[in-house]
Chains A and B, each alone.
Chain A
């Protein structure tokens, strides 16, 4: 270690001694130029050692930041696949089922089938709605606030079902007809009331879930807090390898260092690996946007047909008179029904199908993104290989000085 000792003593002689031998280059650029030219022979082993340490540290940084990107990608994909999509699909299924249940009940009462009450289809749809809400409850994606809204909707759903069942208990004839209409109207209010009705609660809940979905996707593999440090670390490794190659070429007259070139290739591989995670996240983002649009469209499903049938039932209960002849509440209801979009069951089913497809796409792409992000082992391996290749590239040069010191 002669040279090292010499250098140390030269350095320890203080700035004056250094200046007497050779003035230190002023400014960082000048220092970098001096380094690349290898002007100070006595500092070469230290430069080699420092470059190696810097390269290894930067490789660790690439590993850490790369893993952070991968982790974010995985976390987002997992959250979307296991929490956001099930929650949204649960509420959408519940909402669709409730609108269909309402229409089925009104249809059943309209056909005068008192003995079957609201009908089997009503009960099936209510069961589907309950299942949907249960599925959403399991996701826990919107926190306590979301759970509270879910409980509110579930509580109101119980009352809604009771009111519809109650409507079936009235006898035939004028008396039963008006009481049935009253119960069905109360149930319908509970379902459709824009201020706190079941559908409004579910819409509110969907808005929360969509916001949570957006947050999860935004915090994924493309988040700047993950991507920027990873890019910087990667650039640092590439820069250090480039600086080292130039330094070796100038100082040791070695035009190509195979190991360092291999390290550069491995960095490219690592970049491709992490970039793949980011690319998969792009597709997840697109699927999420499509899902948000589908949910928005789904919220336009108001069950106009059920409401129109209910209005007919009320009109019959009032003796086929005009809306005004049945009081202010019915007149206002008639206005609301008239203002409903002119959609039928087929339109609603189409919207439901599109929403379902968007959810399937989002689920599939989140699964793909999750698989694409399942690359920690590859990131570890590539980072280890970069470090190893870097070390092997430095070793012959370091050995030269080790032999000299003997």
Chain B
């Protein structure tokens, strides 16, 4: 009977005790971040059509497919951030790099993990996967993701050249012709810690198109002096054909960010007529207005022509590209899964779909079924049909050389009279870099 009398008290006490113990044992221990992968990349923007937005859609698809969560670190200074993290002994798992030279340096110093087997090489142009010889064997250290065709000269179709220059002589004549109209070149060197690269691009194109891939690669690989005739002439042309005919003069060129440089081309009155830039301008220009007040349309309102060829050359027409490479610094199963996913045509197509088909992906199958505008199709054709496709020379150079190159361009544009000193300084930097830090690459098809 008594057992029944207190049967209310006992469960109550038991419940109180259980609750008390549960509460007492509920700690605040940090939740270890298992099942999470971190990627450092330079793509910002949260609005549809922006690169940051597009990449987030790719990462979301990865999360939906694998259940693996991701962390993004977005910065224009990926290289600097990676170096800082490496110095702290806490490298990111994956990072998007644009410099093959830096990639090779990291690979050779053992900081990168090979991705052999994760990158289906038959889906990429063979040399885009950048096989790097390390310790006697050749390994793949990066997933080629996005390609930018460089050395394009953009113009406003309503106020550009009446006839597109096909040769260097025609371009030089058009660019240096004096007149009261707009300046020839829209130029902006600014890009945070990487300021100066739009100028290095011009010098690279001049060397590549005038002297061909062999000379270009010898220079990019540290085997040709900066004081050589070929290199010096390219710098002089940068000053004479570009610097002297840039919108706003050298101050504006130096103080304008590359993303803002094209605005005067679409302004009224027009400020400049041409811009030497890469294929990503295809989407950049769409934020400007055409004469009827709508968004500028590729093909109808703006177009490009490729960097013109020099007379008497004995090599096939070369083209130049840069590639965004995804490298793995910290090997985890989650990082491997993401690297593998980013190499697929599906992942790369997601980017394309979210940038309106205005990007060019490394995986050959990525653009299958994607509709492009006429200018996009033309760029795609140039990439596909290029007889010789070379990587951006500054991207191949060791980081120290690349930075000095960019600084040199700024100093030259500020004061062209200093060219001999600048080239001497650059050559000193070249001579100071150990031979094994230079990357020996060939241009490919």
A interface with B by C-beta (< 8 Å): 11, 18, 24, 28, 31, 34-35, 40, 43, 46-47, 50, 54, 57-58, 60-61, 64-65, 67-68, 71-72, 75, 79, 140, 143-145, 147-149, 151-152, 154-156, 158-159, 162-163, 166, 175, 178-179, 181-182, 185-186, 189-190, 193, 195-196, 215-216, 219, 223, 225-226, 228-230, 232-233, 236, 240, 314, 317-319, 325-330, 332
Contact of A155 with B81 in the complex, beta carbons under 8 Å: yes
Task: Mark B1-43 against chain A: 1 for CB-CB distance below 8 A, else 0.
Answer: 1101110111011001101111110111011110010100000
B309 within 8 A of A: no
Which of B254-262, B349-357, B382-390 sits within the interface?
Answer: B254-262
Q: What is the CA–CA distance of A318 and B75 in the complex, to the nearest angstrom?
A: 29
Contact of B33 with A145 in the complex, beta carbons under 8 Å: yes
- A-B pairs with lowest CB-CB distance, top 5: A155-B84, A68-B24, A65-B20, A327-B252, A229-B19
B interface with A by C-beta (< 8 Å): 1-2, 4-6, 8-10, 12-13, 16-17, 19-24, 26-28, 30-33, 36, 38, 44-45, 71, 73-77, 80-85, 88, 90, 92, 188-190, 192-193, 195, 247-248, 250-252, 254-257, 260-261, 263-264, 407, 410-411, 414-415, 418
* Known A61-B20, A148-B71; contact A178-B254, beta-carbon cutoff 8 A: yes
Q: What is the CA–CA distance of A97 and B4 in the complex, to the nearest angstrom?
A: 71
Contact of A327 with B260 in the complex, beta carbons under 8 Å: yes
Q: What is the CA–CA distance of A61 and B71 in the complex, to the nearest angstrom?
A: 44
Contact of B28 with A154 in the complex, beta carbons under 8 Å: no
Q: What is the CA–CA distance of A233 and B22 in the complex, to the nearest angstrom?
A: 14
Contacts of A72 in B (CB 8 A): 23
* Known A54-B9, A327-B248, A328-B260; contact A314-B255, beta-carbon cutoff 8 A: yes
**Residue in A162, A219, A329 whose beta carbon sits within 8 Å of that of B188 in the complex:** A329
**Residue in B71, B76, B190 whose beta carbon sits within 8 Å of that of A329 in the complex:** B190
Closest-by-CB residue of A relative to B91 is A151
Contacts of A18 in B (CB 8 A): 1
* Known A64-B21, A151-B85; contact A79-B255, beta-carbon cutoff 8 A: no
> Separation in Å of the B289 CB from the closest CB of chain A?
14
Closest-by-CB residue of A relative to B248 is A327
> Can you report 28 residue pairs joining A to B where beta carbons are below 8 Å apart?
A31-B4, A43-B5, A54-B13, A58-B13, A58-B16, A143-B30, A143-B31, A143-B33, A147-B90, A154-B88, A156-B80, A162-B193, A178-B251, A179-B254, A179-B411, A181-B254, A182-B189, A182-B255, A185-B190, A186-B195, A190-B77, A195-B44, A195-B74, A219-B28, A229-B16, A326-B248, A327-B248, A329-B256
**Residue in A151, A216, A223, A236 whose beta carbon sits within 8 Å of that of B16 in the complex:** A236
Contact of A318 with B28 in the complex, beta carbons under 8 Å: no
Contacts of B256 in A (CB 8 A): 327-330
Q: What is the CA–CA distance of A68 and B22 in the complex, to the nearest angstrom?
A: 9
Contact of A151 with B255 in the complex, beta carbons under 8 Å: no
Closest-by-CB residue of A relative to B263 is A328
> Separation in Å of the A242 CB from the closest CB of chain B?
13
Closest-by-CB residue of A relative to B78 is A155
Contact of A236 with B30 in the complex, beta carbons under 8 Å: no
Contact of B6 with A54 in the complex, beta carbons under 8 Å: yes
Contact of B26 with A225 in the complex, beta carbons under 8 Å: yes
> Separation in Å of the B110 CB from the closest CB of chain A?
21
Closest-by-CB residue of B relative to A189 is B192
Contact of A148 with B414 in the complex, beta carbons under 8 Å: no
Contacts of A40 in B (CB 8 A): 1
> Separation in Å of the B247 CB from the closest CB of chain A?
8
Q: What is the CA–CA distance of A219 and B45 in the complex, to the nearest angstrom?
A: 36
Contacts of B8 in A (CB 8 A): 28
> Separation in Å of the A85 CB from the closest CB of chain B?
16
Contact of A159 with B193 in the complex, beta carbons under 8 Å: yes
Contact of A325 with B248 in the complex, beta carbons under 8 Å: yes
Q: What is the CA–CA distance of A328 and B84 in the complex, to the nearest angstrom?
A: 32
* Known A329-B256, A329-B260; contact A61-B17, beta-carbon cutoff 8 A: yes
* Known A143-B33, A158-B80, A317-B255; contact A152-B75, beta-carbon cutoff 8 A: yes
Contact of A185 with B255 in the complex, beta carbons under 8 Å: yes
Q: What is the CA–CA distance of A28 and B10 in the complex, to the nearest angstrom?
A: 13
Contact of A196 with B74 in the complex, beta carbons under 8 Å: yes
Q: What is the CA–CA distance of A152 and B254 in the complex, to the nearest angstrom?
A: 27
Contacts of A145 in B (CB 8 A): 33, 71
Closest-by-CB residue of A relative to B250 is A178
Contact of A236 with B12 in the complex, beta carbons under 8 Å: yes
Contact of A326 with B251 in the complex, beta carbons under 8 Å: yes
Closest-by-CB residue of B relative to A179 is B414
* Known A65-B23, A155-B84, A317-B251; contact A46-B2, beta-carbon cutoff 8 A: yes
* Known A154-B88, A182-B195; contact A196-B16, beta-carbon cutoff 8 A: no
Contact of B16 with A233 in the complex, beta carbons under 8 Å: yes
Contact of B24 with A64 in the complex, beta carbons under 8 Å: yes
**Residue in A54, A156, A182, A190 whose beta carbon sits within 8 Å of that of B10 in the complex:** A54
**Residue in A24, A54, A144, A182 whose beta carbon sits within 8 Å of that of B1 in the complex:** A24
Q: What is the CA–CA distance of A232 and B213 in the complex, to the nearest angstrom?
A: 83
Q: What is the CA–CA distance of A166 and B403 in the complex, to the nearest angstrom?
A: 12
Contacts of B20 in A (CB 8 A): 61, 64-65, 68, 229-230, 233
Contact of A154 with B248 in the complex, beta carbons under 8 Å: no
> Separation in Å of the A266 CB from the closest CB of chain B?
18
Q: What is the CA–CA distance of A187 and B45 in the complex, to the nearest angstrom?
A: 21
**Residue in B2, B77, B254, B411 whose beta carbon sits within 8 Å of that of A47 in the complex:** B2
With A28-B8, A151-B85, A319-B251 already in contact, 7 other A-B pairs whose C-beta atoms are closer than 8 Å = A11-B1, A43-B1, A57-B17, A61-B16, A68-B23, A182-B189, A329-B190
